[in-house]
Amino acid sequence: MEAVPRRSAGLAGEARSDMVVRMDTDALRRLHYTAAIGCGVFAALCVHIVLSVFGIGLSRVLLGEHAIAALAWWAIAASGFVTGWATAAYLIAAARERAMMTRLAQRVLIAVVFMLTTAGGIISRGGEVGPGSVAAGVTAFGLGLVCAYCGARFAYLNAEQI
């Protein structure tokens, strides 16, 4: 007997469902990357705002205080990286569990981001706009973006260990 390839609706349906599952997984992974990077950027900006209010901002480099500006640089970078990594690791762990864990992870992340941005906004109302504050803010945003991406990428590269 000769093997004849099957051309039934079942095979096409299986291939189609496999493609849909793969597309859902890719979309979910991209959504997790975006959420992790967003949380990292928010954390970096909140740290920048808090440090600026207390006088330890990136704009201190314009006043010749390079050591203070370097401390602020490292604090902003670390907060972006750690928050991006932690968020991605949390979302990876939540995605491997059931739907209830995913919903819980989303609500916790939304609450944390809301609290951080609210605290940063409240603290920033008392601060004055100093020299180079716009450039420092843009620099903090860029630094937080890069470090949050690196943290999220690091979490996904080590996803099999989570």
Distance CA 3, CA 19 (A): 26
DSSP H/E element including 13: helix 9-53
Residue-wise pLDDT tens digits, 52-76: 878 888 877 777 788 888 888 999 9
H/E/C letters for each residue in 24-58? HHHHHHHHHHHHHHHHHHHHHHHHHHHHHHCCCCH
Domain residue extents for the chain:
9-161
Q: What is the pLDDT of residues 19-41, one digit of tens each?
A: 545 545 778 888 888 989 998 99
- Span 2-12, average pLDDT: 50
What is the Cα–Cα distance from 152 to 131, expressed in whole angstroms? 33
HSE of 146, CA atoms in CB hemisphere, 13 A: 9
Residue 146: predicted pLDDT = 92
Contact 51, 72 (CB under 8 A): yes
Say whether pLDDT at 11 is over 80.
no
Each residue's pLDDT tens digit, 75-121: 999 999 999 998 888 888 777 775 666 677 778 777 877 877 777 67
Contact 50, 11 (CB under 8 A): no
